Amino acid sequence: MGIGVYWAMTLIAGGPANVAVLLAFGANFGPLVRAGEWWRLVASMFLHGSWLHLLLNGYALFVLGRNVEAFYGRWKLLALFLGSGIAGGVASGLLPNPPSVGASGGIFGLLGASLVFAFRWRGMLDKRVTWVMGTALLPWVVLNLVIGVVFPHIDMAAHVGGLLAGALLALVLSPDALDEVRTGMAPAPPRLLASLSIALLVVSFGAAGVNIFRTRGPDGPVLPPKIETALLEANYRQQFEQIEDRLGSSPGDLETLFLRAQYHTLVKDWEAAIRDYRAMLDKHPDDGRALNNLAWILLEEAPPPLRDREEAERLARRAVEQQPDDPYSLGTLATARFRAGDLSEAAALFARALGQDRPNLGESTDRYLYAIVLQRLGRTEEAQSMYRHAVRQNDADPYRSEAEAALQIQKTPSS
């Protein structure tokens, strides 16, 4: 099934080239699961980030699965795999992890089930079976857990969650082969378990299909702005400890300071973000990124006691001097002139900013503010057109409401 999903992902979206594709097809991501997209806990088990990832998981599943199936039967094997994978996905989603894919939670669940089976039923089993399904697997469990600690990109929570869930499920589910030995009769197929497992697969893959259609764009799947923000937050949280360690050994490293400033901005720790950007400018006074980002924080994002419009404008002008064609710096300076009441210069700067190439989501704020400027200059038709363009680019932009108030537009669900 994993091969079929990978083939479909390659056919429809060119493969797992980026996180938007993986999320469209059902990657596990805590914020989305908590928002009600529980089907990702199942769908993500059949997604893989590369052919190598697929082959390694497929081999592990084949080796473990055939042994577990020999004693538990195919339906209980499926239940163990799905139940462990779901538990691993839940454990992963409880932490601020980036999106995850793969069957490792279910595979670790089969490891846990094998260990419990071998030691729980050792009195009824041949010593070779106890060795193969129990003792021989212990070093592999320890090795994989150590690897998960050493390499931080591995989803350790999913591995541990799956391992524990598989062990617990093995305490509940009785092995079909041993039931047959005890009773002399083949056990009846577990119809309820089979029905639940099939229903989970059908509903989850159906929901993934709907999501693929819903998130489609002209060049492949697209990410809603809120998801982009959540992804950035998860990524930066994961890296924050590494950033702090690097700054401890190299306090003046420009790129590391920039990463920490971005993290503090993302979590809205404005004082820390301002402090980091000032530290960057103390060492590199002409760094355009620090000039522009600090200007924007002091102008628009920081709470009122920390704002300083005059300093923000000075910083923005210096940023434009350093990078005259940078659309973000031009947009920041345009916003500063707009807030100061200089509509003519603001309009000229917004026009320059929007004349440069950048992602659509990066343009929407400038378009909403430019629409306000055009409206106040009496260019109503241009203002309306600019507003509509901004809505098409990002209807969740925080500046939309300000533009609607200025243009006297009543927001509707279809607008």
How is the chain split into domains, by residue range? 2-214, 359-415
CB-CB contact of 101 with 113 (8 Å): no
What is d(CA 335, CA 324) in angstroms, rounded to the nearest whole number? 16
Spell out a b/e string for 386-404, using b for 16 or more CB atoms within 10 Å of the CB, else e.
bbebbbebbeebebbeebb
pLDDT reported for residue 321: 95
CA neighbor of 292 nearest in space, from 332, 265, 254: 332
d(CA 173, CA 179) in angstroms, rounded, equals 11
- Is 159 one of the annotated active-site residues of the chain? yes
**Residue 414: per-residue pLDDT:** 41
Give the model's pLDDT for residue 359.
64
Sign, CA torsion 372/375/377/382: positive
Other C-beta atoms within 10 Å of 125: how many?
21
The pLDDT, as a whole number, for residue 220 is 57
Tens digit of each residue's pLDDT (9 = 90 or more) over 357-384: 776 666 899 999 999 999 999 999 999 9
Report d(CA 107, CA 62) in Å as an integer.
10
pLDDT of residue 186: 59
The answer to whether the CB of 30 falls within 8 A of the CB of 89 is: no
- pLDDT at position 387, please? 96
Note the pLDDT tens digit of each residue in 307-333.
999 999 999 999 999 999 999 999 999
CA distances from residue 48 to 45, 98, 99, 104, 368 in whole angstroms, order as listed: 8, 15, 12, 10, 39
Catalytic residue among 44, 104, 114, 197: 104
- d(Cα 97, Cα 31) in Å, to the nearest integer? 10
pLDDT at 216: 67
Report the interhelical angle of 380-393 vs 400-407 (nearest 10°): 160
Tell me what pLDDT residue 413 has. Answer: 44
**Residue at 20: amino acid letter:** A
> How far from chain centre, in Å, is Cα 305?
33
What pLDDT was estimated at residue 155?
78
Helix (H) or strand (E) holding 362: helix 360-376
DSSP notation for 302-342:
S-GGG--HHHHHHHHHHHHHH-TT-HHHHHHHHHHHHHTT-
Low-confidence ranges of the chain (pLDDT < 50): 412-415
* Dihedral angle sign, alpha carbons of residues 407, 409, 413, 415: negative
pTM, full prediction: 0.57
Contacts of 6-15 with C-beta under 8 Å, sequence gap 24+, read 6/47, 6/48, 6/51, 6/54, 9/47, 12/212, 13/220, 13/221, 14/220
Placement of tokens 């805590």 in the chain:
30
Measured torsion, CA atoms of residues 168, 119, 115, 90, in degrees rounded to the nearest 10: 10
Burial of residue 348 (CB within 10 Å: 0-12, 13-18, 19+) is middle
Q: What would the pLDDT profile of 207-229 be if each residue is shown by its tens digit? A: 888 877 776 665 555 555 555 55
Class of the CATH-defined domain 2-214? mainly alpha
Contacts of 125 (CB under 8 A, 6+ apart): 118
The DSSP code for 69 is: H
Backbone angles phi, psi at 312, to 5 degrees: -60, -45
Give the residue from 357, 295, 354 showing the smallest Cα distance to 321: 295
Catalytic option among 100, 159, 197, 204: 159
- For residues 208 and 211, give the distance between their C-alpha atoms in angstroms, rounded to a whole number: 5
